[in-house]
Structure 1
Amino acid sequence: MILESVLTCPQCGHVETETMPTDACQWFYECKGCGTLLKPKAGDCCVFCSYGTVKCPPVQESGHSCCEGNKS
């Protein structure tokens, strides 16, 4: 399982390497470059699946395209 992902802000292009939580999806992330609050794109379960280089651990583990229980 890969626990680090490189997030790229769609607003300013800032790149940051972050360690992902292993037991949950991260729905929000504040860009350290411009302060924009990133939220998952439609159909994605978390900011790592939308803006990261690696899908989140729950998706890596399950093989599904979305984390269980995040259908809202």
Structure 2
Amino acid sequence: MATGIILQSTLTCPHCGQVTEETMPTDACQWFWQCPGCGAVLKPKPGDCCVFCSFGTVPCPPIQAGDACCG
């Protein structure tokens, strides 16, 4: 993994607005995330590879490195 990769991203639930800081995995894409506020299970928007690319403040590590995501 390239240096300078940010592993922290803040996810915002589009249903209730809950904001949660999460650590992104470096060895797999995260396709689902359950909001701790309302319990909604988020999945990536069409065209995005993971929940961090759809709902996070920072895209996933493979995208940051300029690679294709693991999806």
TM-score, normalising length from structure 2?
0.89
Structure 1 gap ranges (5+)? none
Aligned to 2:18: 14
Task: Please tell me whether the aligned partners of residues 31 and 37 of structure 1 are also in contact (alpha carbons under 8 angstroms).
Answer: yes
Tell me the C-alpha RMSD between the 2 structures: 1.0
Runs of 4+ in 1 over 2 A off after TM superposition: none
Aligned to 1:44: 48
Count of residues in correspondence between the two structures: 67
Q: CA deviation at 1:23?
A: 1.2
Does 2:60 correspond to 1:56?
yes
SS in 1 for 2:64: helix
Structure 2 gap ranges (5+)? none
Structure 2 residue aligned with 1:67, among 54, 66, 69? 69
Identity %: 69
Q: Deviations over 1:46-66 (max 9, x none)?
A: 0000000000011112x14x5
Write the letter of the residue equivalent to 1:56: C
Write the letter of the residue equivalent to 1:2: I
CA distance in 1, matches of 2:28, 2:62: 7
